[in-house]
Chain A
């Protein structure tokens, strides 16, 4: 009998009779213990890890989280009341009918037991003060780009740079968006050299999992090879006026 991932078996708890209601699930927990007895208990058992999914409004953050989450992506307001949602200007023309107040999050229990939490950054600039909270303790960020509106993700890029949070940029492959070679996107977005740029289909789980793995891998790489000095990095303040336009579109 193997427990479902969402059961969060309590089998590494050593605190005795106060182990909590899941102590009753002892059968499946010990089954797991046996399965894992051949290797040392992971440090990660009953540990959560957090990745941030960032990018402009309507760039596909909620879709991406929903593609891997084992719970429906939950939107929670954090500080403000739901009533304030009505003052958000909805982007006209993008067909977006729903906007995120506060943040979205999802969860995926990984083989090995880590609860990987995915948090989408709030789309609205006035929620930016929440980002510190979102990024605190995060393993890294995946910044989604919409090739039709690169500038909408510049805030997210600038924030990661300023916060020193390792991030990977990912072009979300919308069906309706024109295709640009990644070299052009990199130039147009003025991505710093060390930042990986990949493509992702936010609707497809394997693609999303790959993008998340690339994000974690990049953080591991930055631990080994210290990132170039942040002074060289493009923050929103230093981005040139050409940012957001493709090389071929410039006159």
Chain B
């Protein structure tokens, strides 16, 4: 496995052979992503095995970044970087997250919990 040192993100981009232009910073661990195409449609793209695993994990979305990582058998940090790249290539779509303390969202979560 990879040992990370002083600048883990840069090292991940290098190790994963990804362009460093994509930013993974807006990807929270609970951010929802969805694959944009059926896997069969992108077969011709020949994604690298890791990117392919991450992509396939995102396809049945919306699914949280943390779940993508687990399904793809990798860490959240790696999944995040790969997802940022896939989002940049418009293969994966990121759901916009509501503001943190959005009253409506809080009320809906509370209603949902009470209805369980």
The chain A residues found within 8 Å of chain B, CB to CB, are: 8, 15, 18, 20-22, 42-44, 46-50, 68, 71, 74, 76-83, 102, 105, 107-108, 110-112, 114-117, 119, 133-134, 136-139, 209, 212-213, 216-217, 219-220, 223
Number of interface residues of B (CB under 8 A): 49
B113 interface residue per 8 A CB criterion: yes
Determine which of A48, A80, A220 lies in contact with B106 in the assembled complex, contact meaning CB atoms within 8 Å: A220
What are 6 A-B contacts defined by CB distance under 8 Å?
A: A18-B37, A76-B66, A81-B2, A83-B1, A115-B32, A217-B110
Q: Is B109 an interface residue (CB 8 A)?
A: yes
Name the B residues within 8 Å of A114 (CB-CB). 105, 108-109, 112
Contact with A along B83-98 (1 / 0, CB 8 A): 0000000000101011
Choose one: A50, A74, A102, A220; the contact of B30 (CB below 8 Å). A50
Taking CB atoms, residues of chain B closer than 8 Å to A81 are 1-3
Q: Is the CB of B105 within 8 A of A213?
A: no
Judging by beta carbons under 8 Å apart, are A74 and B70 in contact?
A: yes
- Do the beta carbons of A110 and B61 come within 8 Å of each other? no
Q: State whether the Cβ of B17 lies closer than 8 Å to any Cβ in chain A.
A: no
Instruction: From known contacts A77-B75, A83-B1, infer whether A48 and B61 are also in contact, taking CB-CB under 8 Å.
Output: no
- Chain B contact residues, CB within 8 Å of chain A: 1-4, 8, 28-32, 34-38, 59-64, 66-67, 69-70, 75-77, 93, 95, 97-98, 100-116
A111 touches B36 (CB 8 A): no
Q: A50-B30, A77-B75, A209-B113 are in contact. List 9 more A-B contacts (CB 8 A).
A: A8-B63, A43-B108, A46-B62, A47-B98, A48-B64, A76-B66, A110-B115, A111-B112, A134-B29
Residues in B neighbouring A139, C-beta threshold 8 A:
100-101, 105-106, 109
Q: Are B8 and A79 interface neighbours, CB within 8 A?
A: yes
Write the nearest CB–CB distance from A73 to chain B, whole angstroms.
11
- Which B-chain residue is minimally distant from A206 (CB atoms)? B116
**Distance in Å: Cβ of B33 to nearest Cβ of chain A:** 10
**Contact partners of A78 in chain B: CB under 8 A:** 75-77
A117 engages B1 (CB within 8 Å): no
Closest chain-B Cβ to A137's Cβ sits at a distance in Å of: 5
Inter-chain contacts of B60 with A (CB < 8 A) = 8, 20-22
Q: Please, which residues of chain A bring their CB within 8 A of the CB of B63?
A: 8
Contact of B4 among A79, A112, A213 (CB under 8 A): A79
Look across to chain B and name the residue whose beta carbon is closest to the beta carbon of A79: B77
